[in-house]
Structure 1
Amino acid sequence: MTRIHMAYLACVAALIGAGLGAAPSAGAVGHATHLVFPGESIQKAVDAAAAGDTVLVTSGTYRESVKVTTPGITLRGMGRSTVIEPATTTTAATTEKAANTCAAGGNGICVIGTKDKNVEGVTVASLTVTGFAKTGVFATATDGLTVRNVTAVKNGVWGIAQEHSVRGVFRKNTARDNGDAGLFLANSINTEAGATDTEGTVVERNRLEGNRIGVTVRRLRNLTVANNHVTGNCAGVFVVGDENKPKAGAVTVRDNHIAGNNKSCPKTARLEALQGSGIVLTGAEDSLVTGNRVMDNAGTSSMSGGIVLFKSFVGTTSERNRITGNTLQGNSPADLVNADTGAGNTFDGNTCRASKPAGLC
């Protein structure tokens, strides 16, 4: 064993002995900690892990993609200094893509269940994932996935994304400068379908900066977005529905700080140009937007403004949403914007200066 490995082991032992983090000590009954050092394969350690085990990745840069299919394991780094990047050489990248569908999809870390059974209780924590063509952390068919203290930076599409999943927890992550959403949660990415019940998924205390959209919630129900810091994106929080049934909604957006999301983004095949949108509900129902501080979001898009209700691009209206108890200032064209014709939407108890139409403040 080299001196470097011995030093790492001493550091790891000190962390575990001090009770920091969630990693059990090696040899604990029924559980094991699999240590990974620079130059070693994270994937091999993940493949060797059993339910309840922790794969603890020490500080360093690892050029690979990692696919997790075993329930109940924890993949954890030692903070931002544990960095996962794409393979750098053409030969290595080609070989990895042939063997690893996560790499082939352009993703960094994938947590994958099956069509018939969700993978349960996986945790991904305390590491950086950067530079992947599509997504930093991608999950599908999961139950109770936790992603915490992950830094997802400069990935081509999404920082952290999930579909076909329930009871997820996304907490204290940083998603910055990703091509589309920092955090993207959907019923299904590639198929048209009605909104699904997430059974209480939580997105909280994340820092979302410099993305196209901070958080996108698409065709989902029963989900909470709370206490996030969202700034410097083209748009802050999007709750998106369409003509499919059941309708998107029953989403709570509360106690977030959403400020200065004034980056300018061109239109895409699915969405017009964006700039200066704080919180947008489009084609959604029965949602609650409350206790948010929404400041200085300004632009000329049809969805610009502090808190905006906007019918979807296929004409589906937003209905029975409650916008209450928010503090808004300096948003343009207005702090509150109701560009929807849906029934039962209410605005009350908000602190703001200007609305479209007038009288919502």
Structure 2
Amino acid sequence: MKKGIHISVGIKGATITGDNNRVLQAAVDYVSGLGGGTVQILPGTYQMKDSLHLRSNVRLIGKPGQTVLQKADGFISLLSTDGDYGEEQVSLTSPTGFEVGDGISVRDDGSGGFHTTTATIIARVDQHTFTINQPLQADCMVGRNAIAKTAFPVISAYYAEQIEIEGITIDGNRSANPPLNGCRGAGIFFYRVHNSSIRHCVVHHYNGDGYSFQQSNDIVIEDCQSLNNANLGLHPGSGSQRPILRQNTAHDNGGDGLFLCWRVRHGIFENNELRRNGQYGISIGHKDSDNLLRNNLVVTNASHGVYFRNEPEYTGGHRNRLESNQIFNNGTAGEGNGITIDGETNDTIIVGNQIGNKAEYGSTTQQIGVAVGSKTQRTEIDQNQMTGHLKEDLVYCQPTK
């Protein structure tokens, strides 16, 4: 990235002074308008009533542990009339707490995932009706419990490139906020962003995923932490190619520590620690192929340490390599193995890993070292150290008759 202009934002003593998302956004937009550069956020806590929307060629830096972007308290309302696909306004039964400039998400019981709309309120039409800056991504019907929430990613970027984020802490204020699904938000969220990086950041207590990037290529997340978030710790997904995630820690999240969503390919996931997460340590599935998972520590997760999801052959996660990982004491919530390969998953290589139960990680909980499903093909298992399991070190499941 070229150097460009450098400006600071802070509560005092900065080029731009203030303590909320509006001053941060003003700095980002100013730097972007000059072709790119650096926005330095000085130590302090900044209240976020909308996402900080990053632009191409902008570097955002803070002081690790001291620059904190805190999600403001959230509000929820049912819609009072249907929101139609493509419509750019919503009418709310309980508009208290919704203000012009706030971030908002809109969905109903049939429009989750990518069909959830995230936007910014840009005008108030009357007491109950607001204009938003993005068209609704789906019909949001009163009969399907259509709802609006001031839920949004704390930092986000869309259709951008060459973004760098460093040294920022996200406080998701989880107890005072409604959830947002990881296809449309996270503490830090990218959508169709390329050649960009996140380093030395922390996301904690977000009511959703810690980090999520969707349909984004060549993303690097390095030396970051994701903890106590409601859902996934790290969520590369939806066709993201060549991600590199290294030296990150994801622990005590409600879902998986590392979730490879759909079509994550040719990625490198190394030297990460995935600990005490509420489901799997690592989950791999729908068309997630040709990835290298190396030197990761995967311990004390509620279910399997590594899980290859149950997919048919045409959408299986094929040709993935697990090398030199340490996978211990998983299955703390019940029946969990070190590695479970489900579905019609082919050409998996498991080599040089340490898999078992160790006293230093607590109770003996891991049932089987590697459980190979009956529909898998050409699984290579070599030079692994597997000891101390409650059942077997290696199980090849028999086909169901």
Aligned counterpart for 2:40 among listed residues 26, 31, 35 = 35
Alignment match, 1:295: 356
Q: How does 1:79-118 map to 2 (within 5 A)?
A: 82-86=169-173, 107-113=186-192
CA contact (8 A) 2:166 2:200 kept: yes
Distance 1:123 1:247 in 2: 28
**In the TM superposition, what is the alpha-carbon distance from 1:57 to its structure 2 partner?**
2.4
Q: 1:84 to 1:325 in 2, by over 3 A?
A: same
Q: More displaced, 37-46 or 220-229?
A: 37-46
Q: How does 1:222-233 map to 2 (within 5 A)?
A: 222-233=290-301
Greater percentage in strand: 1
Q: 1:287 to 1:71 in 2, by over 3 A?
A: same
Distance 2:308 2:386 in 1: 19
Amino acid across the alignment from 1:63: Q
Alignment match, 1:177: 252
After superposition, what is the alpha-carbon deviation per residue over 1:257-302, rounded to whole angstroms, capped at 9, x for unaligned?
111114115xxxxxxxx33x111111210110000011218558xx
Q: 1:31 to 1:42 in 2, by over 3 A?
A: farther
Q: Secondary structure of the residue that 2:187 maps to in structure 1?
A: strand
CA contact (8 A) 1:63 1:88 kept: no
Q: How does 1:13-162 map to 2 (within 5 A)?
A: 32-37=37-42, 38-40=44-46, 47=53, 50-58=55-63, 59-64=66-71, 65-69=154-158, 70-77=160-167, 82-86=169-173, 107-113=186-192, 119-162=193-236
Aligned counterpart for 1:216 among listed residues 245, 269, 283 = 283
Distance 1:163 1:157 in 2: 14
Alignment match, 1:253: 322
Question: How much is the aligned-residue C-alpha RMSD, in angstroms?
Answer: 3.4
Q: 1:87 to 1:56 in 2, by over 3 A?
A: farther
Distance 2:183 2:164 in 1: 23
Q: Secondary structure of the residue that 2:376 maps to in structure 1?
A: coil
Identity %: 20
Q: Secondary structure of the residue that 1:143 maps to in structure 2?
A: coil
Is 1:205 aligned to 2:271, yes or no? yes
CA contact (8 A) 1:308 1:339 kept: yes
Amino acid across the alignment from 1:256: N
After superposition, what is the alpha-carbon deviation per residue over 1:116-151, rounded to whole angstroms, capped at 9, x for unaligned?
xxx211212211111122211111110011111111
**In the TM superposition, what is the alpha-carbon distance from 1:53 to its structure 2 partner?**
2.7
**In the TM superposition, what is the alpha-carbon distance from 1:180 to its structure 2 partner?**
1.5
Unaligned runs of at least 5 residues, structure 1:
8-25, 114-118, 188-195, 266-273, 312-316, 343-361
Q: Secondary structure of the residue that 1:285 maps to in structure 2?
A: coil
Q: 1:5 to 1:291 in 2, by over 3 A?
A: farther
Q: 1:44 to 1:31 in 2, by over 3 A?
A: farther
Distance 2:39 2:297 in 1: 34
Q: More displaced, 218-227 or 102-111?
A: 102-111
Distance 1:259 1:102 in 2: 29
Unaligned runs of at least 5 residues, structure 2:
1-7, 15-30, 72-153, 359-363
Distance 1:177 1:306 in 2: 23
After superposition, what is the alpha-carbon deviation per residue over 1:333-360, rounded to whole angstroms, capped at 9, x for unaligned?
0111111449xxxxxxxxxxxxxxxxxx
**In the TM superposition, what is the alpha-carbon distance from 1:56 to its structure 2 partner?**
0.5
Q: 1:41 to 1:2 in 2, by over 3 A?
A: closer
Aligned counterpart for 1:332 among listed residues 368, 378, 390 = 390
Q: 1:252 to 1:334 in 2, by over 3 A?
A: same
After superposition, what is the alpha-carbon deviation per residue over 1:204-228, rounded to whole angstroms, capped at 9, x for unaligned?
1001100121111112111111100
Length, aligned pairs only: 282
Distance 2:258 2:242 in 1: 15
**In the TM superposition, what is the alpha-carbon distance from 1:55 to its structure 2 partner?**
0.3
Q: Secondary structure of the residue that 2:291 maps to in structure 1?
A: strand
**In the TM superposition, what is the alpha-carbon distance from 1:83 to its structure 2 partner?**
3.9
Distance 2:50 2:365 in 1: 48
**In the TM superposition, what is the alpha-carbon distance from 1:104 to its structure 2 partner?**
11
CA contact (8 A) 1:75 1:123 kept: yes
Q: 1:254 to 1:161 in 2, by over 3 A?
A: same
Distance 1:294 1:103 in 2: 30
Q: Secondary structure of the residue that 1:142 maps to in structure 2?
A: coil
Q: Secondary structure of the residue that 1:245 maps to in structure 2?
A: helix
Distance 1:236 1:255 in 2: 14
Distance 1:144 1:241 in 2: 27
